[in-house]
Amino acid sequence: MVDILPSSVARELRGVIVRDGVSYVPVFCANCGAKGPLVIDADQRFAFYQCEPCAEKFGEIVGMMKIPDEVHWEIQHQEQLARYGRPLDVVELAEIEKDGNHTLVKLARDFK
């Protein structure tokens, strides 16, 4: 039997924020219901979120990311600064994604 994670998106959407034509919906901790981040709606009604206290209390979920997104993005940011001396723009990142051996692509793959 396959374990399926519960959705952290509320059944009734409230608190949706629209910025530049993009809808963001709030998500809540799958364990305790604590308010979490906003995620892009894109007609998608599934997102899993676990707050830090619950992650510490219940331990890691097998096959899931072990560190917070903020740490991952900081690692990516520091790599860009070290290699290029500045953060890259979206066009540059899209070009880099074509090279499967690029350090930034490998970092992104490691954190999926």
Higher pLDDT, 109 or 32: 32
Kindly state the average pLDDT of the residues 69-91: 86
Nearest to 16 by CA among 50, 51, 52, 42: 42
Distance CA 91, CA 98 (A): 12
Contacts 24+ apart (CB under 8 A), 54-59: 54/29, 54/30, 57/31, 58/31
Higher pLDDT, 92 or 110: 92
Ordered by start, the domain boundaries in the chain are 1-62, 69-110
Task: List, for residues 65-79, the tens digit of each pLDDT value.
Answer: 555 566 777 888 899
Which tokens sit at 10?
Answer: 């509320």
Task: List, for residues 22-64, the tens digit of each pLDDT value.
Answer: 888 889 998 999 999 888 876 667 788 888 899 889 887 766 6
> pTM value?
0.52
CB 104 within 8 A of CB 76: yes
Reported confidence tier of residue 108, pLDDT bands at 50, 70, 90: confident
Distance CA 50, CA 35 (A): 10
